[in-house]
């Protein structure tokens, strides 16, 4: 009681409030914005390295080998030479790997005109073992079984084109996903807002369910449902249809981006007065014509939000994509997957950092440019919505066609979004139980994930709500606008690039802070912070400032106004923001991998189970536990915010 | 409880003055109305008093203390806003005891004050209701109870009756005045409704474009407007441009553009000066047919508007100018459209004003 009194007295002072606002902006700038785009400074400081290592005509090679499982393991040695049948010496040693699970690496900066030869050595406490030799000529002969360590066939690619290829795939997929989301999402939003039907509330809840499932679990689940999955027993109901990695990623990304599109379209549709449409209909327009020519043009704001959210989400996604690709057995990579894979390797081979930086920079810049372009295109370009075809539109407005449309929407939701999301239950129920790896790792990763998610939710709320207040209620409108725009940046930047940039920022600028846990917390704050700010700012804009003013004149100090008047009025949005931040953190893979390869959160653990160990049953079970636990956490969060009156 | 003074308050939004050297003296326990058209800056003045907006220059005194550096919560005022802004998540009781609660008074005192206020506004039987369950009148009373429970020394009312039905608005007017007068609270009431201002106030401040046009009691404001705007805005008036031709100790003679002679009591203007003659529509008479003489205007009835107790008749003069006459309905029924009539200005009811620099039209603009 005394403390609250002291606090409210303190905040009654203008200077104290000004200081607090300055702190909020400082926090945002230093902990969110700057680290997010820090990697861009590489363009200035290290362009030379990027241009010689990445942009020149050099190759990179992927090496993978069989794992050494004995207890006397010390380290793997990766050796490179330009002569064949070379001996392992100090001069041929490229780098060492002190983790026996890491049996994959990448080397860069190889001249295409030279033939390189590689060998892996294993250092144990008593001896040195060496593997067979491979080279970059493309010739590979299966080694005789006398080798204890087998080096598999190397994959040689041109570094620059590999990067462009992966980025191109990312953008291509994001664009296709966004378009499909829009086409299928519009009728769904329409149904949710403008139609009354039995079970609408359930429908409404179902729509959000994929959001509660971490994407790593979604990736596994969707792949099991759709894909041809070699090496995994297909559960009953599996379609076994897709073998193309592109198509699989597209269906996967639709699953988790579709709800975002429907939600943003529905939100704006709710705001548009139906009377415009009714007025159009009384003037003789058929229902479709009225909707198309009157409501749709008013839609642009919602369209921008929906497109940006879907696009950014698809562009960012790492964990689910990695899992889906691994389940399919494909070597294809998207931009974020490339960053995640390389970052894992870069721990032992620092030569990869320029390539990583370059990939992140391109990803960030393209994402930002696209954000601006989408905004301009959707708001400025005239949509061809003026022309009217009375007859066909009249025909389409009544009777069977709209019913078919609704049916199609429903089927889309069911088969493309819902069933793939939860198909994993069918798998776990039917697959042969097998526990290849102990559960200890999973429980500790789950604990780690929850620790991070809880901490970042608390930080987001504590510092995000004041930021929202500053944006909406701040004295300076200009500052509000600027902050409002900047807040979106971490939302657009793909999380893998964000994670890499952030890791770089903290480890180079404040290296004393760069423990993996701290780094992951910083990274997760950076991309979840905008979610809380967005939600709360939206609610504050809807709330009339007059309530706060009245409370002030009735004698309430600023803190009392906040606690007694503002907080209760915006509680639902705070809850929504908190749930979003919490679940996003819980499901995030890309940023976690890119920040610190050592930190094992639950989704990262699931990715590893599938990618490195092919422990599918266990991964499935882990997914279900993760889904169940995050669902419980959501309920708990709801309960806590309701109770904290 | 306390007197209040605004001294030379100025507030600019871009190029527009919301308050332009605004002065106001309010005596202890006085009920003052700030009357003005929308956009005059009335709400801005209230918010400056409340401390919700900082003025660019000038001072606000409550009692003898300059309160400019005090935040709203320390000014001992209570603001009742247009929509009442009852907190939607609190019921009638919680809304009422909001101020005592945030002040941290002891629970017994809170209980006593809450009950006293709710009894006063007759809402004791609805303590558990939420604002959305209350009628407009109840909301208004609840908001009033909440404002009064704060123990404020000055009550600021921003269009407190605007959101109510016409009938209820009239009833609540008197109740509002009675309540605050009984408690002796100094009150500033902002409205654009002249009838409301005339019936409720001890003192009216007519405001336009951030400036005080006239201050006075309701009778003075209505009967003795000091400028064209006030004459026009408080009750309707007719205006005619004239030139003074003769002046003697008992009368003054003027002539309008069409050569009609108008006579009034002598006033402090020189012969040859161009002035404006005005008269309230209520004091304008009308007769059938042509009546020669001074202060008469021959014209045709263009439109008759039925106002209930009164009819308003619009007469078009030969030169195209329109005059308005407001007469009791019982007499008004005798007139029909297109009838030839004479409009008569009573000489002892005429106002005479300086000819405005920017012309008559500009001066009559309400917004």
For residue range B116-136, list pLDDT tens digits in order.
889 888 888 989 999 999 988
Say whether B25 sits in a helix, a strand or coil: strand
Pick B102's closest partner by Cβ from A544, A549, A560. Answer: A560
> Mutation test of the interface with chain A: which of B82, B98, B117, choosing the one with the most A Cβ atoms within 10 A?
B98
pLDDT of residue A382: 67
In this prediction, residue A215 has a pLDDT band, given cuts at 50, 70 and 90, of confident
pLDDT at A259: 86
* CB-CB contact of A617 with A421 (8 Å): no
pLDDT band at A645 (very low <50, low <70, confident <90, very high): very low
- pLDDT score recorded for residue A251: 92
Cβ-Cβ contacts under 8 Å, B83 against chain A: 544, 546
| Predicted pLDDT at A284 | 73
pLDDT digits (tens, 9 = 90+) for B221-252: 998 899 888 988 888 889 998 999 988 888 88
Looking at chain B, which residue has its C-alpha nearest residue A566? Answer: B87
Distance from CA of A477 to the nearest CA of B (A): 13
Question: Nearest CA of chain B to the CA of A568: how many Å?
Answer: 7
Q: How far is B151 from chain A (nearest CA, A)?
A: 9
- Are B267 and B316 in contact by the 8 Å Cβ rule? The answer is no
* Per-chain mean pLDDT for chain A: 84
The answer to whether the CB atoms of B103 and A551 lie below 8 A apart is no
Closest-CA distance of chain A to residue B365, Å: 30
Closest Cα in chain B, distance from residue A550 (Å): 6
CA-based nearest residue to A458, from A585, A563, A566:
A585
Q: Is the pLDDT of residue B80 over 50?
A: yes
Of all residues in chain A, what percent are helix, strand and coil, respectively (each to 5)? 70, 5, 25
Q: What are B231's two structure tokens?
A: 């004459």
SS3 B183: helix
Which positions in chain B touch A568 (Cβ < 8 Å)? 87, 89
Q: Output the six-digit token pair for A22.
A: 């300055």
Contact: B102, A568; criterion CB under 8 Å: no
A12/B146 touch (CB, cutoff 8 Å), yes or no? no
- Span B88-116, average pLDDT: 90
Query: Which residue from A minimizes the CA distance to B149?
Result: A554
Q: Residue A5: list chain B partners with CB under 8 A.
A: 104
Quick one: DSSP state of residue A52?
A: I
Q: Give A599-641 as a DSSP string.
A: ---HHHHHHHHHHTT--HHHHHHHHHHHHHHHHHHHHHHHHHH
Asked if A539 has any chain B CB less than 8 Å from its own CB, the reply is: no
Whether pLDDT at A290 is above 80: no
The position carrying tokens 């014509």 is A289
**Mean pLDDT, residues A231-260:** 82
How close, in Å, is residue B150 to chain A by CA atoms? 6
Say if residue A196 is exposed, middle or buried (CB neighbours under 10 Å; 0-12, 13-18, 19+): exposed
Residues in chain A within 8 Å Cβ distance of B47? 549
Strands B237-247 and B296-306: unpaired
Residue whose tokens read 């967005």: A534
Question: Does A547 contact chain B (CB < 8 Å)?
Answer: yes
Q: Is A552 on the interface with B (CB under 8 A)?
A: yes
3-class state of residue B199 by DSSP: helix
Average pLDDT over residues A544-552: 89
Mean pLDDT of B102-125: 89
Cα nearest neighbour of A559 on chain B = B102
Tell whether the model's pLDDT for residue A396 goes beyond 80: no
The residues facing A128 across adjacent strands are A123
Best B44, B67, B70, B73 member to test A by mutation, with max A CBs in 10 Å, is B73
pLDDT at B4 exceeding the cut of 50? yes
Q: Which residues contact A416 (CB under 8 A, 6 or more apart)?
A: A184, A251, A254, A255, A258
Cβ contact A291:A272 at 8 Å: no
pLDDT of residue A217: 85
Instruction: Quote the CA–CA distance of A346 and A351 in Å, as a whole number.
Output: 7
Residue B102: closest C-alpha in chain A: A556
Say whether residue A555 is in contact with chain B using an 8 A CB cutoff.
yes
Of B325, B366, B346, give the one whose Cα is nearest residue B232: B366
The confidence score (pLDDT) of residue A524 equals: 92
In B, which residues are within 8 Å of A558 by CB distance?
Answer: 71
Answer yes or no: are the C-beta atoms of A81 and A116 closer than 8 Å: yes
Rounded Cα gap, residues B256 and B277, in angstroms: 10
What pTM value is reported for the model? 0.80
Mean pLDDT of A418-430: 84
Instruction: Tell me what the mean pLDDT of segment A518-522 comes to.
Output: 89
pLDDT at res. A181? 92
Q: Determine, for residues B77 and A551 on separate chains, whether the beta-carbon distance falls below 8 Å.
A: no
- Per CB-CB distance under 8 Å, the chain A contacts of B75 are 553
Confidence of residue A641 (pLDDT cuts 50, 70, 90): low
pLDDT at A436 > cutoff 70? no
- Orientation angle between helical segments A319-328 and A335-346, nearest 10 degrees: 90
Q: How far apart are CA B155 and CA B117, in angstroms?
A: 15
E strand or H helix at B344:
strand B340-345
Residue A111 makes CB contacts below 8 A (sequence gap 6+) with: A58, A59
CA distance B87 to chain A (A): 7
pLDDT tier at B182, thresholds 50, 70, 90: confident
Percent of chain B with pLDDT strictly greater than 70: 99
Given this model, what pLDDT does residue B165 score? 81
Give chain B's contact residues with A (Cβ, < 8 Å).
47, 50-52, 71-73, 75, 77-83, 85, 87-89, 98-99, 101-104, 146-147, 150, 156
Record the tokens describing residue A43, joined without a space: 């363009």
CA angle A313, A318, A320 (to 5 degrees): 95
B31 forms bridges with which residues in the sheet?
B187
pLDDT at A381 over 50: yes
Interface residue A7 vs chain B (CB under 8 A) = no
Neighbours of B361 (CB within 10 A): 9
**Cα–Cα distance for residue pair A311/A320, rounded to 1 Å:** 16
pLDDT confidence bin for A56, thresholds 50/70/90:
confident
pLDDT value of position A2: 66
Residues A339-376: tens digit of each pLDDT: 888 888 888 888 888 888 899 999 899 888 887 887 77
Nearest CA distance, A529 vs chain B (angstrom): 27
The ipTM assigned to this model is: 0.81
Query: CA of A19 to nearest chain B CA: how many angstroms apart?
Result: 17
The pLDDT assigned to B342 comes to 93
Least confident stretch, A393-407, B211-225, B341-355:
A393-407
Q: Which domains does chain A have, with CATH numbers?
A: 7-43+439-643 (1.10.3720.10), 66-151 (2.60.40), 164-354+364-425 (1.10.3720.10)
Calculate the CA A76 to chain-centre distance. Answer: 32
Contact list, B82 vs chain A (CB under 8 Å): 546
Query: Is-contact A56 A107, C-beta < 8 A?
Result: no
Any chain B CB within 8 A of the CB of A9? no
Lowest mean pLDDT among A298-312, A574-588, B150-164: A298-312
Bigger pLDDT: A303 or A469? A469
**Residues A88 and A76 sit within 8 Å (Cβ to Cβ):** no
Report yes or no: A477 at the B interface, CB cutoff 8 Å.
no
Interface check for A113 against chain B (CB to CB < 8 A): the answer is no
* Cβ atoms within 10 Å of A47's Cβ, excluding its own: 13
Sheet of strand B4-13: strand arrangement: B16-26, B4-13, B57-62, B65-66
Angle (CA) B232-B237-B240 rounded to 5° is 105
Range name among A1-10, A27-36, A193-202 with the lowest pLDDT average: A1-10
| Burial degree of A288 (CB within 10 A; 0-12, 13-18, 19+) | buried
Q: What is the mean pLDDT of residues B43-47?
A: 91
**Which stretch of A5-19, A467-481, B225-239, B276-290 has the lowest confidence by average pLDDT?**
A5-19
Option in B89, B150, B156 nearest A555 (CB)? B150
Residue in B closest to A645 by C-alpha:
B89
Tell which of A4, A10, A16, A550 to mutate to test the B interface (max B CBs under 10 Å).
A550
Residue A189 pLDDT exceeds 90 = no
The residues pairing with A107 across neighbouring beta strands, listed in sequence order, are A61
What pLDDT, on the 0 to 100 scale, is given for residue A418? 85
């Amino acid at each position: 009681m005394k403390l609250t009194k002291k606090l409210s007295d303190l905040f009654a002072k203008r200077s104290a409030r000004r200081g607090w606002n300055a702190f909020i902006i400082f926090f945002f700038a230093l902990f969110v914005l700057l680290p997010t785009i820090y990697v861009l400074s590489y363009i200035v400081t290290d362009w030379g390295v990027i241009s010689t290592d990445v942009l020149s005509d050099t190759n990179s090679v992927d090496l993978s080998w069989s794992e050494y499982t004995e207890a006397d393991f010390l380290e793997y040695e990766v050796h490179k030479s330009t002569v064949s049948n070379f001996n392992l010496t100090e001069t041929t040693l490229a780098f060492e790997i002190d983790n026996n699970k890491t049996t994959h690496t990448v080397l860069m900066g190889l001249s295409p005109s030279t033939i390189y030869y590689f060998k892996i050595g294993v250092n144990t406490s008593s001896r040195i073992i060496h593997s067979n030799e491979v080279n970059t000529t493309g010739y590979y002969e299966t080694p005789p079984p006398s080798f204890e360590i087998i080096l598999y066939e190397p994959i040689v690619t041109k570094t620059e084109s590999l990067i462009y290829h992966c980025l191109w795939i990312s953008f291509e997929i994001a664009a296709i996903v966004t378009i499909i989301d829009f086409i299928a999402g519009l009728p769904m939003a329409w149904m949710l807002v403008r139609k009354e039907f039995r079970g609408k509330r359930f429908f409404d809840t179902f729509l959000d369910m994929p959001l509660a499932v971490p994407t790593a679990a979604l990736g596994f689940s969707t792949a099991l449902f759709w894909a041809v999955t070699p090496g995994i027993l297909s559960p009953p109901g599996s379609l076994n249809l897709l073998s193309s990695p592109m198509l699989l990623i597209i269906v996967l990304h639709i699953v988790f981006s579709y709800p975002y599109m429907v939600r943003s379209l529905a939100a704006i549709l709710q705001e548009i007065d139906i009377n415009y449409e009714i007025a159009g209909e009384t003037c003789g327009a058929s229902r479709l014509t009225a909707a198309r020519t009157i409501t749709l043009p008013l839609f642009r704001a919602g369209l921008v939000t929906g497109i940006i959210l879907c696009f950014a989400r698809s562009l960012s996604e790492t964990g689910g994509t990695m899992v889906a690709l691994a389940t399919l057995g494909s070597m294809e990579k998207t931009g974020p997957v490339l960053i995640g894979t390389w970052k894992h390797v870069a721990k032992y081979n620092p030569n990869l950092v320029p390539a990583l930086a370059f990939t992140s920079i391109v990803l960030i810049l393209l994402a930002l440019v696209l954000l601006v372009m989408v905004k301009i295109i959707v708001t400025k370009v005239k949509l061809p919505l003026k022309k009217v075809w009375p007859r066909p539109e009249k025909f389409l407005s009544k009777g069977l066609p709209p019913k078919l449309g609704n049916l199609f929407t429903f089927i889309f939701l069911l088969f493309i979004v819902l069933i793939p999301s939860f198909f994993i239950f069918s798998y776990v129920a039917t697959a042969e139980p097998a526990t290849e790896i102990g559960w200890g790792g999973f429980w500790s990763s789950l604990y780690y994930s929850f620790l991070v998610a809880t901490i970042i939710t608390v930080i987001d709320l504590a510092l995000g709500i004041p930021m929202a207040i500053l944006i909406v209620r701040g004295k300076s409108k200009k500052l509000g606008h600027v902050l409002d725009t900047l807040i979106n940046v971490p939302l657009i930047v793909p999380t893998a690039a964000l994670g890499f940039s952030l890791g770089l920022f903290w480890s180079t600028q404040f290296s004393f802070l760069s423990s993996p846990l701290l780094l992951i917390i910083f990274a997760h704050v950076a991309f979840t912070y905008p979610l809380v700010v967005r939600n709360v700012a939206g609610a504050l804009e809807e709330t009339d400032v007059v309530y706060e003013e009245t409370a002030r004149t009735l004698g309430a100090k600023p803190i009392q106004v906040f606690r007694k008047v503002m907080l209760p009025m915006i509680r639902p949005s705070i809850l929504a923001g908190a749930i979003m931040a919490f679940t996003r953190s819980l499901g995030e893979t890309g940023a976690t991998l890119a920040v610190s390869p050592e930190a094992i959160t639950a989704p990262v653990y699931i990715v590893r189970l599938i990618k490195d160990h092919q422990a599918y049953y266990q991964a499935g079970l882990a997914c279900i536990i993760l889904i169940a636990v995050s669902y419980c956490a959501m309920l708990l969060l709801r309960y806590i915010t309701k109770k904290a009156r | 409880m306390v007197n209040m003074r605004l001294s030379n308050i100025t507030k600019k939004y871009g190029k527009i003055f919301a308050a332009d050297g605004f002065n106001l003296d309010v005596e202890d326990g006085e009920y003052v109305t700030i009357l003005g058209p929308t956009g005059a800056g009335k709400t801005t003045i209230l918010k400056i008093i409340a401390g919700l907006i900082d003025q660019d220059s000038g001072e606000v005194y409550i009692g003898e203390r300059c309160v400019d550096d005090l935040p709203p919560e320390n000014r001992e005022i209570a603001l009742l806003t247009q929509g009442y802004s009852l907190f939607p998540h609190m019921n009638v009781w919680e809304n009422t005891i909001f101020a005592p609660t945030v002040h941290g008074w002891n629970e017994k005192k809170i209980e006593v004050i809450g009950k006293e206020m709710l009894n006063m506004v007759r809402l004791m039987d609805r303590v558990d209701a939420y604002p959305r369950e209350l009628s407009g009148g109840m909301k208004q009373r609840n908001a009033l109870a909440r404002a009064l429970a704060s123990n404020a020394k000055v009550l600021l009312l921003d269009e407190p009756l605007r959101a109510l039905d016409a009938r209820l608005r009239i009833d609540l007017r008197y109740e509002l005045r009675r309540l605050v007068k009984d408690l002796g609270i100094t009150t500033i009431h902002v409205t654009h409704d002249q009838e409301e201002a005339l019936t409720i106030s001890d003192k009216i401040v007519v405001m336009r474009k951030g400036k005080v046009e006239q201050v006075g009691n309701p009778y003075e404001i209505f009967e003795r407007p000091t400028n064209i705007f006030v004459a026009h805005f408080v009750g309707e008036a007719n205006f005619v441009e004239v030139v003074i031709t003769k002046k003697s100790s008992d009368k003054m003679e003027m002539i309008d553009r069409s050569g009609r002679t108008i006579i009034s009591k002598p006033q402090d203007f020189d012969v040859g000066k161009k002035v404006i003659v005005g008269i309230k529509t209520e004091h304008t008479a009308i007769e059938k047919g042509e009546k020669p003489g001074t202060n008469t205007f021959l014209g045709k009835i263009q439109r008759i508007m039925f106002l209930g107790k009164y009819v308003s008749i619009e007469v078009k003069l030969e030169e195209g100018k329109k005059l308005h006459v407001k007469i009791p309905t019982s007499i008004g029924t005798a007139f029909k459209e297109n009838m030839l009539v004479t409009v008569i200005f009573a000489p002892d009811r005429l106002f005479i004003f300086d000819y405005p620099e920017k012309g008559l039209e500009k001066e009559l603009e309400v917004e």
